[in-house]
Structure 1
């Protein structure tokens, strides 16, 4: 049985994610609330931003959710992955780092922004998104997948994967693989940081870590099982690209 190690990288972001009624109800329906070990890990996030890691191998991969607290499907999908790993239903051939709730406080209050800032425009400045990129660099992460959801009434408004061609072509190769295997639409840009400043994906690419952003389709602040399952498939496809599951 796999056991997760965990590390707090920011205590200022702390919040009770189970106070989010949408998320809590989903966990109840899935039976997660009765799983002691899984809930022990999830309750750790009341202390702040926690990185969970497990396994070993050639690759060092990082999965991030909750950059936007009201994009719940991708956060739930990462909890699903943790449950599958704990239950020994997934055999890992890598060291995997998972941040299911980057900003527990915003997940708790079902908010996109943290301290009135969109933290996916802030990774080039001081703050929690910068800290997760720093963590990735310090821990020699091979590749990063930033997991989001998109509201059908907002951009992009469909299941998709963002990537860039420069400076790291692997970003677009990973995105193409995920899209091929999940029926997502690829959204490439020529060069990281040329359209947006401070996105986790772009800043990772600019700092030498191939990265993509996966978007499942789900109404902001809501949670439905199909959206979680789709996000989970995107996550598995990211891992499968490296042949680690």
Structure 2
């Protein structure tokens, strides 16, 4: 499916990654409460009813993806992604930016970690899983860099605000993580080789396929939004883009 220009919102383009993952984001009261419900945000939520949309801004330089919602019950990054998309909607960009605010709208609707019982961050290597379709889209579009943003609870893994990366086979993953760490203070958690700890994370599969990627984690209890978690995730996203001069 090709991108379609959305004349109502300037240079915005969109297409769907899947048509079997749709959900009513507005049924998740924690997400709805923290969104700025303007005309553009409402447009995003409406498109999520029919599947997983990917939005495109700009047409220059590097192709960069901001991804969130791989775990539907990790909410701050999904709200932050929508805020960032709102902020950059009419910006004069020197790179091409792609946004997937809600990787699995159905999971976000039900506030569930999994999609149809499958952990999408353990299955990006499994053909035709939803996260595998996202990775295939990344490769098909020629996206150069990926930031995948999550949240973690105090008693979970990693349980701290952090940036995951790997040193091989895509060493720029590690450089990006260190840049963000120095910029916003998130701790770097790095592996010598992508996928050495467990298989199927979007970040790892991208790095293994030569697309430098990082995973951002902020602290927040699962299924809710508390404190400054949205602001911290937003800061990680902006720092990630700042690495590329956005």
Q: TM-score, normalised by structure 1?
A: 0.94
2:109 is matched with 108
2:54 is matched with 51
Q: Report deviation, 1:43.
A: 1.4
Whole-Å separation in 1 of the counterparts to 2:10 and 2:152: 32
1:204-234 deviations in whole A, cap 9, x for unaligned? 0011100000001111001135100000000
1:20 is matched with 28
1:23-61 deviations in whole A, cap 9, x for unaligned? 11112xxxx22x112311221011100000011211100
Number of aligned pairs? 237
- When residues 80 and 225 of structure 1 are mapped into structure 2, their CA distance, relative to the original with a 3 A threshold, is farther
Q: Does the alignment pair 1:36 with 2:39? A: yes
Instruction: Report which of the two has the higher share of helix.
Output: 1
Task: Single out whichever of 96-105 and 38-47 deviates more from structure 2.
Answer: 38-47
Contact 1:65 1:148 in 2 (8 A): yes
1:93 is matched with 94
2:231 is matched with 229
1:34-92 deviations in whole A, cap 9, x for unaligned? x1123112210111000000112111001110000000000000000011123x4x542
Partner SS, residue 171 of structure 1: helix
Q: TM-score, normalised by structure 2?
A: 0.93
Q: Report deviation, 1:93.
A: 1.4
Whole-Å separation in 2 of the counterparts to 1:58 and 1:225: 36
Partner SS, residue 200 of structure 2: coil
- When residues 215 and 2 of structure 1 are mapped into structure 2, their CA distance, relative to the original with a 3 A threshold, is farther
Q: 2:243 aligns with which of 219, 241, 245?
A: 241
Partner SS, residue 228 of structure 2: helix
Contact 2:74 2:222 in 1 (8 A): yes
1:104-129 deviations in whole A, cap 9, x for unaligned? 00000000011111110000002111
Contact 1:38 1:82 in 2 (8 A): no
1:119 is matched with 120
Alignment of 1:91-240 (within 5 A): 91-126=92-127, 127-224=129-226, 226-240=228-242
Contact 1:2 1:54 in 2 (8 A): no
Contact 1:60 1:95 in 2 (8 A): yes
Q: Report deviation, 1:170.
A: 0.2
Contact 1:122 1:129 in 2 (8 A): yes
Partner SS, residue 145 of structure 1: strand
Contact 1:2 1:55 in 2 (8 A): no
Contact 1:2 1:85 in 2 (8 A): no
Unaligned runs of 5+ in 2: 1-8
Q: Does the alignment pair 1:71 with 2:74? A: yes
